[in-house]
Amino acid sequence: MAKKKLGKGLGNIFGEDIDSVLDEISKGESQITGEKMGLKISEIRPNPYQPRKIFDEVALQDLAASIKERGVFQPILVRKSLKGYELIAGERRLKASKIAGLKEIPAIILDFDDTDMMEVSLLENIQRENLTPIEEAEAYEAIIKKLDYTQEVLSKKVGKSRVYIANSLRLLKLPLSVRTLLNEGKITQGHAKALLAFEDEEKLVEVANRIVKENLTVRDVEKLASKKEEKKAVESETDPYIENVKKNMTNRFATKVDVSNKKIVIHFNDTDDLNRILEIMDCLDKE
């Protein structure tokens, strides 16, 4: 079986349209080749690095109906595992084929390692914009931990800024109930970023639920985050200009900011959060 190893970290296809790359492999038009054959669906396990957890059930049913009538035209991509095979790409086709009652599906067996699997899965879903913000953040976190990437390296690989990656990862600091609201589309990513300015988790969850019930805008949440209810009496006597600066900086950096006694204090959670803020301020050393 003629095969071309992808090499370290799929470096030769990053920056390209991953769908086109995978299509070329499926059609036998790529230098990356593998054995094509029909596989029993029962022998194929899901991609362990698939970041997407939520699938459109209506679209799956439509695809299943099409497959039931016409069959599967484009092979899925798999790799051999200790027991059977692991899916690389084509999860919707595999799921729909199961719904359609198929026992076998056309597949191409490729020589992919764990790094290849993770990077292809991440790229495929990001380029298709299939992931929820939380799924995307979880995918970044997993690939950073598994492959020991820095945020800088990952940002170059996926074509996103380091600030974007850092802000995405910060969403994982949200309480589970709030992450669920974001996953379900009940609040937006803009809402979620604004909620991160709340230090008190109970208050954060309360405001998140208010977003859903009262249809609050992102600006509404930012205004709530900038208020210091416990200091209302003091705030009424403070310099309006200083308060406006504090509010703007809080919104800009999505974190707590104190402006008083001729000093500015910007709070951060960890090194990654600090780097995110420094990046916004253009204070990081250029690598």
Q: Which residues are catalytic?
A: 91
Contact indicator for 45, 76 with CB cutoff of 8 Å: no
Rounded to whole angstroms, the Cα distance separating 59 from 99 reads 12
Place of tokens 């995110």: 276
> Taken in order 219, 221, 226, 229, is the CA torsion positive or negative?
positive
The tokens for 176 are: 């589970």
Long-range contacts (CB closer than 8 Å, 24 or more residues apart) made by 169-173 = 169/137, 169/140, 169/141, 169/272, 170/196, 170/254, 170/269, 170/273, 170/276, 171/133, 171/134, 171/137, 171/196, 172/134, 172/137, 172/138, 172/141, 173/269
Specify whether the CB–CB gap between 135 and 179 falls below 8 A: no
Which run of H or of E encompasses 67? helix 57-70
Residue among 91, 75, 85 at smallest CA distance from 111: 85
What six digits make up the tokens of 140? Answer: 């970044």
Tell me the chain's radius of gyration from C-alpha atoms: 23
Contacts with 115 (C-beta within 8 Å, 6 or more apart), sequence order: 8, 9, 10, 147
CA distance 256 to 275: 16
